[in-house]
Structure 1
Amino acid sequence: MPTLNARIPPRQPSHRFPFTLLLALLLWLPLLAEAQQSCRVVSSTLMDFGTVSTAGNTDASANLSISCQGLPGVPVQVTVCIFVEEGFPSGMAPRRMGNNAGAFMAYDLYANAARTQLLGPFGRNYDIFYTFLSLPIIGSAQYSLSVYGRVPPGQNLPAAYRYENAMSQGLLRYVFAAPFAGASSGENCRDGVAPIFGSAGQSTFTFGEAQAHVADNCVINLASDLDFGTVSQGDAPRDATALIQLRCATDTDWFVTLGTGLNPTSSGNRRMVSNGNFLPYALYRDRALLLPWGSTQLNAVADSGDNEDVSLTVYGRVVPQPATVPGSYSDTITVTLTY
C-alpha cells in the first residue's frame, strides 16, 4: 500500500482581533464627539476686600467651582477659559465699585496670583484666562479655579457706606479633546474651535459680587512746640503759635481738643511751671484770640476729612505778669484727635 505523506504548515497567528478593536475605536470616535460633554460653573464665592488701605495694595481672591461631564471610561483633556463682564457700576481697567453715594473705588480682577494678567470680558482685547483640566476615567470631575482681585492705593475714598460691584455676568467656554489626545490651546477655547473627534461649548454663570469698606481713619502727623521765647519783662502780652497737622479719611468727621496741661488751676486754667512758680497762659483757635481751645467738643476744632493733610494753628498768649519770678517755664499739653 503506498505511503501517504502530508505536511501541515504551522498555524499563523491571527491579526483579526486587533484590527477589530482598532476599527471599533475608529467607529466610536465620531460618537464621542457627538456625545454630551459639558462644563459649567456651579458656584462662585464673594470677592471681599474687607477694609481697604489707602497706603498700599489691598488684595483678595474668589473661587469658581467648575463641574465637567464627559463619558465614563474615556479619560480626556479639557481646556476651559473664563471671561467676566464689567458688572455695575461699569468700568474696565480699572473696574469700579460704588457706595450708592456717588463715590467709586477702583479695583481689578486678575487671572494669576501675581496680578499681572487682567481678567476681562469676552470679545475684548485681553489675554485669555484659560487652564487645562484632566477628566478622569470615571467621566466627570469638579475643579476649583481662583480669581484674584486688587484695590490699588492712593484713592480719595469716603469712608461712609459699603462699596460694591453688583454681580457680573460670566462666560465659561470649554473644549474637549479627542480621547487620548492632548488639550486644545487657549485660542481654541476662546474661539470655540473643537479638534477632530472633540467638542466645544459654553455656559454662562453669575460671578459673585466684589465689595470693600473704607474705615473711618485719622492720624496726627505733627504737633509742634509752642515757644514763647525769652520774655525780658512781663508787663506786656506775649504771643506764639504752634502747628498741628492731621489727615482723615474722606467724609470722616473729627474734632481736636487740647488738654489743660500738667499744672492747671482748680478752674482748669493752664499754667507753666518753673521751680514751683507758675506762669498762666491761654490757647485759642483763632488769630483774634476770641475762641478758647479747650478739652471738650464744645470748644474744639472740628471738620470732616477729605484724605488730605489738614494744618491747624494753635494761638497762644501769656498775659501780662510783671511780678513773675525769672526761670524756664514749661508745660505739656495733650492733643486728642477724636473721629
Structure 2
Amino acid sequence: MCLLSAAAFVWSPRAQATTVCTATTTPLVFPAAGIAPSESTATVTITCNTFALSVVAYARVRMCLSLDGGSLTPAQITPRRMQNGFGDPLDFQIFRDPARSQVWGGPLASGNTGPVQIDLTYPVPVLGGSATATATLYGRVPAQPGAASGTFTNTFSASNATLSYRYVEPLLLTSPYPASCTTGGVGGGTTGFGFTASASVPSRCTLSTATNLEFGSVPGTILSNRDETSAVTFTCTNRTAWNVGLDNGLHAAGAIRRMRRGSTSDYVRYELYRDEPRNLRWGTTTGSDTAAGTGTGASQSVTVYGRVPSGQTVPAGSYTDTVTVTVTY
C-alpha cells in the first residue's frame, strides 16, 4: 500500500504595522528686543513609533514641518508679527537655517519658502521600534527703535504648526522613501504641535540735550522778575511712562535754589517751574513735583520755566549753578 500525502501552501502577504509620529516644541523666547536685533532658537522634537511587525524590518518616514503666520489676524508670514496687550505690533521671523536666510513656511501658506523636510529610518524588530529626530527654529526680531514697550506674543496652535508624514516598512534599507510627506508609502498622517513666540521690549529713555537757562545781564539791583526758559530733550520707547526731575542745584539753601558768584559767598536766588505762570515748582519727587508723560518712540521735550525774583541786590559778576536732570521710567 502506498500512502500519499499532499501539503498545501498558502501565500500570505507580510503584515504591515502602523507608524504614528508626534511632535513637541520648546517656546521661542527672544531676549530684550527693540533697539538692537534679537535672536533665539527653539527645538522641535519628533517621535515616531512603529508597532510590532511579523518579521524584522525597517520603518522609513518622510516628514514635513510647516508653519504659518500664527494666531494673529492677518496670519502673515513676511514678516511674522507679535502683539502686546495694546495691540502694538512687533515684527519677527522664523527661519530654517542658522544663517537666517530661508524663511520657514508651509505648503498651504502664501508667501512662504516651504516647510522643513526630515527623513527618518529606524529598525523595527518583532516587538516594535521607535526613533526621534529634531529640527531647530531659528528666530530673529529685527531692530525696531520705534517699537512700544511690553511683552509681545504670537501663539502657534496645532493648526498653525503641523507635522505631515508618510511611511513605508521595507525589509531592505535600499527601498525608497515615500514620494512626499503627503503621498506614497503605506500610511501616514498629520498632527499639530503648538508653541508660543514671545519677546520683551524693555522700557528705556535716553537724554539728548538740556539747554542752558540764561537770565541775561542786570544793571545793579534786580528791580523786576527775570523770566527765561530752557528745554530738556529725550527719547523714550513707545508707551513708556516717564518722569523728569530737576534737583536743587549745587548751591541751594534748603529748598531755595541759588546761583553763586565764583567761589565767593555771593548768591542770586532763582527758581524753576513746570508751568508758564510759574506756579508749580519743579523738583525730584515722582508723582508730586516732576513733569510726567508717556514715551512715543520719538524725540520729546519739556520746557523749563525759570525765574530770578525781583528785590535782590548783589555784587556785579557772573552767577552760575548746575542742575541735574533725571529721567525716571
Hey, which of these two has a bigger chunk of helix by percent? 1
Do 1:176 and 1:183's aligned partners in 2 also have CA atoms closer than 8 Å?
no
Counterpart for residue 227 of structure 2: 239
Counterpart for residue 44 of structure 2: 64
Q: Hey, what's the Cα distance between the residues in 2 that align with 1:183 and 1:271? A: 88
Computing the radius of gyration from Cα coordinates, the structure with the larger value is: 1
| Pick aligned residue for 2:204 from 188, 212, 217 | 217
- Residues 45 and 291 from structure 1, CA distance in 2 versus in 1: closer, same or farther, beyond 3 angstroms? same
- Residues 55 and 216 from structure 1, CA distance in 2 versus in 1: closer, same or farther, beyond 3 angstroms? closer
Do 1:86 and 1:121's aligned partners in 2 also have CA atoms closer than 8 Å?
no
- Residues 234 and 120 from structure 1, CA distance in 2 versus in 1: closer, same or farther, beyond 3 angstroms? farther
Do 2:276 and 2:305's aligned partners in 1 also have CA atoms closer than 8 Å?
yes
Do 2:67 and 2:115's aligned partners in 1 also have CA atoms closer than 8 Å?
no
Give me the CA root mean square deviation.
Answer: 3.1
| Pick aligned residue for 1:317 from 304, 307, 327 | 307
Counterpart for residue 295 of structure 1: 284
Give, in angstroms, the shift of residue 315 of structure 1.
Answer: 2.0
DSSP-derived class of the 2:180 partner: helix
- Residues 157 and 319 from structure 1, CA distance in 2 versus in 1: closer, same or farther, beyond 3 angstroms? same
- Residues 182 and 212 from structure 1, CA distance in 2 versus in 1: closer, same or farther, beyond 3 angstroms? farther
Instruction: Give the TM-score normalised by structure 2.
Output: 0.78
**Bigger shift: 172-181 or 284-293?**
172-181
Hey, which of these two has a bigger chunk of strand by percent? 2
Counterpart for residue 294 of structure 2: 304
Counterpart for residue 153 of structure 2: 164
DSSP-derived class of the 2:191 partner: strand
CA-to-aligned-CA distance 1:152-189 (integer Å, 9 cap, x gap): 332654435x432234222212354764348769xx53
Q: Hey, what's the Cα distance between the residues in 2 that align with 1:261 and 1:325? A: 21
% identity of equivalent residues: 29
Residue 49 (1) aligns with residue 40 (2): no
Q: Hey, what's the Cα distance between the residues in 2 that align with 1:284 and 1:100? A: 36
Number of aligned residues = 301
Do 2:63 and 2:165's aligned partners in 1 also have CA atoms closer than 8 Å?
yes
Do 1:279 and 1:324's aligned partners in 2 also have CA atoms closer than 8 Å?
yes
Q: Hey, what's the Cα distance between the residues in 2 that align with 1:105 and 1:289? A: 41
Do 2:248 and 2:257's aligned partners in 1 also have CA atoms closer than 8 Å?
yes
Give, in angstroms, the shift of residue 150 of structure 1.
Answer: 2.3
Do 1:173 and 1:189's aligned partners in 2 also have CA atoms closer than 8 Å?
no
Do 2:248 and 2:283's aligned partners in 1 also have CA atoms closer than 8 Å?
yes
Q: Hey, what's the Cα distance between the residues in 2 that align with 1:183 and 1:60? A: 36
Q: Hey, what's the Cα distance between the residues in 2 that align with 1:227 and 1:176? A: 81
Give, in angstroms, the shift of residue 66 of structure 1.
Answer: 0.6
Do 1:75 and 1:134's aligned partners in 2 also have CA atoms closer than 8 Å?
no
| Pick aligned residue for 2:103 from 92, 103, 118 | 118
- Residues 76 and 234 from structure 1, CA distance in 2 versus in 1: closer, same or farther, beyond 3 angstroms? farther
Instruction: Give the TM-score normalised by structure 1.
Output: 0.76
Q: Hey, what's the Cα distance between the residues in 2 that align with 1:249 and 1:262? A: 31
Q: Hey, what's the Cα distance between the residues in 1 that align with 2:35 and 2:155? A: 26
Q: Hey, what's the Cα distance between the residues in 2 that align with 1:181 and 1:240? A: 88
Give, in angstroms, the shift of residue 151 of structure 1.
Answer: 2.4
Counterpart for residue 85 of structure 1: 68
Counterpart for residue 20 of structure 1: none
Q: Hey, what's the Cα distance between the residues in 2 that align with 1:260 and 1:182? A: 84
- Please, which runs of 5 or more residues in structure 2 have no aligned partner? 1-10
- Residues 327 and 123 from structure 1, CA distance in 2 versus in 1: closer, same or farther, beyond 3 angstroms? same
Give, in angstroms, the shift of residue 263 of structure 1.
Answer: 0.9
CA-to-aligned-CA distance 1:48-82 (integer Å, 9 cap, x gap): 224x3221222222111111345785567644221
Give, in angstroms, the shift of residue 217 of structure 1.
Answer: 2.5
Residue 130 (1) aligns with residue 116 (2): yes
Give, in angstroms, the shift of residue 334 of structure 1.
Answer: 1.4
